[in-house]
Structure 1
Amino acid sequence: MSIQNTVSSWEDLLETARKNTPARRVKRPGQSPSTAPIPSSLLKLPQDTQLPVLLYRDTNSWCPFCERVWFALEEKEIPFATEFIDLSNKPKWYTDLVPTTLVPAAKIDGKLVYESKDILLALEEKFPHPALLPENSEENAIARQFLEEAETNGFKDIAYKFLREATADAQELANLQAAFEAKLDELEQTLAKYPGAYFVSTFSLVDTMYSPHLDRLAANLPVYRGYHLKGNPRFPRINAWFEALNQRPAYHRVKSDNITNNLLLRRRWGAQPIGNLLPLDAADSEKIQYRAEAAERLSDNREVAIGDILKNSGVQALAGNGDISAIQEAVDFHLRLLADYLINENNVPLPWGRVGGKENIDPTLAAVGAITLAYVRNRICAPRDMSAGAATAFRAAADQVLASIY
């Protein structure tokens, strides 16, 4: 198996990518996750500043309740540190610390607070500017009522029952859908109480409460139930709310992409898709900033990515009893090919060169390339590994490279 190495080095790829994206992550060698987002607020602080908030959250960025708090911290630009908790093996110190043993939890100036709603309210009290609750006393009271109702109105339970219920009975599904739509109608009416797109007159904690769940439902329902929330004419205010959220930079720092949400539902809850499990949002796939961020993430975290592929993708079997180093070289090459394509958006450099063509390709090289690109396409998790926009660009580029060379 031989490779005509026509692709830039990792060092050159990383340097070029960083010139085109401000996105940065801190490395966490030997830990999970292997990198973590740097809160936007920290970019403005001197190093070694004592941070007022410590957020305890899940390692994979799957928890919607953690996302609520992260969203508010980014919106309010509160400096914070993060302690990641492995939900499948919670450390004893954490279960001793937090009475519920659940995430999220936070220490705010050293005081422990848990339950996402309580953390949001504590942050608002401690850091009142910029405000995420209305200053007008009457509207403030209504917003607080909406916060309580988000936890008690049964919306989440009914929505996820419709999404996850394992039944083939058409009438039962119709009843579940009707109950879900009734809850969506209530949200429509709530969003109609104030002019503008948000639950109250300005963006607020109420929006951070609902956004993780509605995002996941909007991604999952078309794939697992054939039901569309976005673009549904029955819910114009919910759709206007989605559009308004999409204009907020903090939202893009914390949200997952559709594919992450869809793969998660199958892997964690065993749900069976009835539609395309891997729908790409083409609107994000060609944006320069997202392509550059994806290339930067891959280039900077390449050692972990290569190790993961060699360990978990099955590609090692292609070595037989031979030297695994040749397989590792081919994995490395295809990942550099992907990073190069993300940065340069030009024709994909062919592993066999410009002369000859596909008939000259080594079948083992082709198999390594196919496994590598398909594996990383579905392995990345947003926003654990990169932002949702970058993940979309990454997946689209992996598809294009694979289609172009094999």
Structure 2
Amino acid sequence: MVIKSTTPRARVVVTALSSILPLSFFLISGVDSFATYNNPTSTAASKVVKSFPTNAFTAATAIPILSRYHNTASASKSVLAMSTTTAESWSTLQSASSSTAVGSALNNEQSLRATGKGSPFVQSNLRLFNSSEKPKITLYRDHAGWCPYCQKTMLLIEEKEIPINIELVAMRSYGDKPAEFLNMVPSGLLPALIVEQPDGRKRVITESQVIMELLDRWHPTSEGYKAMLPSEEDTDGWSKFDTLANLERELFSWWCTLVFRPEGPRLGGGSGGLMGMLTGKGGGEKEMSGSMKGFLDCLSKVESALTSTPGPWFFGEYDYPTMIDFIYVSHVERMLASAAYWKGLDLRSAEYKAQFPGLNAWLDAFEKRECYLAFKSDYYTHVMDIPPQYGPGFDGGFEDKRKEFSQCINGRDGKSWKLPLPHDDPVQPLYRGPPLPLCALSAAGIESDADGTYESTNPEQMAKACRHMAGWKLSSNGDKVARFAARGGVDGAKNPRKSFGAPLADPYANPDQSVVPSVDAVLRIVCAALLEDGEDDDHGAVLQSMEQSLRDAVLSGQAKGVVGSLAYLRDRVGVPRDMPLAAARQFRAHLNWAIDVVA
């Protein structure tokens, strides 16, 4: 039985976002896909929720590198005892990673997650929290955690600490859905909740808001769970919820109008806008199109709602985010990325922080929560996965800033993906909350500031922790990553295969077999560089000492294929699936270092 809303006024069809990657960067099975979602308003979803009784259920061989690592004072500080004739094998690199404080902590956390405990993680298959019983509900969600409807559902589950089984399913934009899932959910909609009934039958529930309301009702405050919605008797609370839900749809509509439609001429008085175009007199940045003005005016309504409460959340009586916060944040996150990339509008900048202090305080409060970090993407991933779902974004807005921000986001500015990296990202604030899992930060001896941010952290200490997390992830599956990267070789990805909507998606591509040994060898050197244990002042010297080894690792005539493979991998590092942004930027930058040396 499939449960879904049929209320006409509640039917709002939107296209879910998908991932850019053809399969998990670390080749964990399953990929995301394109899907069209029905997103009912609160009132319609509540009608479906109320139809359920409260007790609906009981709760490869490594290739040697014929090269030398030069003996330098900096290199001697490495956690690796580097051979003078070969690069270390993947197993040795994995052991070296485990010997770092960050790697050891991540290994322990990985073991906890396998039991359903531990910190939030985008690829968890089981969440038990404090329960010891096998859950009777299973959530099917997208593999990368980038679908906004799956994301908001997972945020509610994590905040309420609901025991649940989780299955990861591809989205249509870059992968195929498994037949067993389509047998249960013929529409292929995500998220989907499977509920085991006492008589053994299973119910299938689709649409995120229906799922979220049911989960909240089935896990009440009387059993120790946090409230996510107003109580049944709180008519004022429900009225506020419905008003905010409708405002979110209005904001979503203005976002689509701004980003996915041509903007038209700027409007306004003075020497700018339409009159400026007619007279030839230029205007300033404050002159803007009607769609830009409409979007910012709607954001002002959201700002008023946020600043009307004593805390950062929409419902001020709670000291934690509730369902309406989750409904907003999954799309606001995507608005931030697309507005900066296509319109030159940075809503996290000092200028807009002054204009929208409530919005920025709300975002800062989210970023202090580890569960949000676990499902938060970066701007690059979003701007690559949005077009297959909504169509192309249109350039416009504030042109000078647009060029600057877009090149920063996609790594083409010569700084944002290049070593040495700036401590913080100029467009995406990294340290307004934990940039890495708390276990990794604690192991590295990094503590938060009094306000919960990490903005006063020692830059060298933070950079090393981020490198070590990237090296830990790469070493865990390095041989398969090398084969994945080799699809970018000269003779890679030439086999006949099915195509998908996302431009970088190619799950059935074959690697260029001839460059796999060279790519594998180069990636082992990159991994060793990431795991190096010196401070940032020494890191540049260590990298310099490895440059000749990188050149020697590439077999004659294969430089072009290796460079193409490293670029293929770099452009497909996804956040959050592969690692958080703070670690991903280190990995991307170290891949660019290797590209520059080998080219």
- TM-score, normalised by the number of residues in structure 1: 0.81
Counterparts in 2 of 1:123 and 1:361: CA distance versus 1, 3 Å: closer
Aligned to 2:371: 250
Contact 2:377 2:576 in 1 (8 A): yes
Structure 2 CA distance for partners of 1:84 and 1:220, relative to 1, 3 Å: same
Equivalent residue in structure 2 for 1:177, among 282, 292, 296: 292
Displacement of 1:256 in angstroms is 0.8
Give the distance between the partners of 2:310 and 2:219, measured in 1 at CA.
26
Displacement, 1:79?
2.8
The residue identity in structure 2 corresponding to 1:197 is P
| CA-CA distance at 1:397 after TM superposition | 3.1
1:160 — aligned with what? Answer: 256
Deviation of 1:124 after TM superposition, in Å, equals 1.3
Partner SS, residue 350 of structure 1 = helix
Match of 1:38 in 2: 124
Distance 2:371 2:553 in 1: 48
Q: Where does the alignment leave 5 or more consecutive residues of structure 1 unmatched?
A: 27-34, 318-323
Please tell me whether the aligned partners of residues 21 and 292 of structure 1 are also in contact (alpha carbons under 8 angstroms): no
Query: 1:327/1:360 Cα in 2 relative to 1: closer, same or farther (>3 Å)?
Result: closer
Tell me the amino acid that sits aligned with residue 491 of structure 2: Q
Classify 1:359/1:73 alpha carbon distance in 2 versus 1 (closer, same or farther; 3 Å). closer
Q: 1:314 matched to which residue of 2?
A: 489
Query: What's the counterpart of residue 195 of structure 1?
Result: 310
Alignment deviations for residues 109-140 of structure 1 (CA, whole Å, 9 cap, x no partner):
55432211121111111223441437788879
Structure 2 residue 304 is the aligned partner of structure 1 residue 218:
no
Residue by residue over 1:86-114, the C-alpha shift from the partner in whole angstroms, topping out at 9 and shown as x without a partner, is 33244566456448642111124554322
- After superposition, where does 1:3-402 map in structure 2 within 5 Å? 3-4=66-67, 6-17=86-97, 18-22=103-107, 24=110, 37-38=123-124, 41-42=127-128, 50-88=134-172, 89-90=176-177, 94=181, 97-98=184-185, 101-110=188-197, 111-128=203-220, 129-133=224-228, 141-142=236-237, 145-146=240-241, 149-150=244-245, 153-166=249-262, 169-170=265-266, 174-201=289-316, 202=319, 203-231=321-349, 232=352, 233-266=354-387, 268=389, 269-271=391-393, 274=403, 275-276=406-407, 277-278=409-410, 280=416, 282=425, 283=430, 284=435, 286-311=462-487, 313-316=488-491, 327-344=515-532, 346=539, 347-348=542-543, 350=546, 352-353=548-549, 364-402=557-595
Note the aligned Cα RMSD (angstroms). 3.8
Question: Kindly tell me: are residues 301 and 25 of structure 1, through their superposed partners in 2, closer, same or farther at Cα, counting changes over 3 Å?
Answer: farther
- Give the Cα separation in 2 of the matches to 1:184 and 1:62: 23
Count of aligned pairs: 389
1:249-308 Cα deviation digits (max 9, x unpaired) = 000111111211122235553336653142555445945554333223222233432232
Q: Is the 8 A contact 2:522 2:554 kept in 1?
A: no
Distance in 2 (alpha carbons) for counterparts of 1:193 and 1:137: 23
Whole-angstrom distance in 1 between the partners of 2:165 and 2:521: 36
Mapped to 2, the partners of 1:24 and 1:168 lie a distance apart of: 51
Distance 2:290 2:559 in 1: 49
Residue matched to 2:498:
none
- Contact residue 485 and residue 568 of structure 2 kept, 8 A: yes
Change (3 A) 1:150 1:296: farther
Between Structure 1 and Structure 2, whose CA radius of gyration is higher?
A: 2
1:71–1:251: 8 Å Cα contact kept in structure 2? yes
- The DSSP-based 3-state class of the residue aligned with 2:386 is helix
* Percentage of pairs with the same residue: 23
Give yes or no for contact 1:124–1:132 (8 Å, CA) kept in 2: yes
When structure 1 is superposed on structure 2, of 202-211 and 338-347 the one drifting more is: 338-347
Larger % of helix: which? 1
After superposition, the C-alpha distances for 1:47-92 in whole angstroms (9 at most, x for unaligned) are xx52233111223433111110111122222232222333324456
Go from structure 1 to structure 2 and tell me whether the alpha carbon gap of 1:235 and 1:140 turns closer, same or farther (over 3 Å shift): farther
Task: For 2:379 and 2:251, locate their aligned partners in 1 and report how far apart those are by CA, in whole Å.
Answer: 21
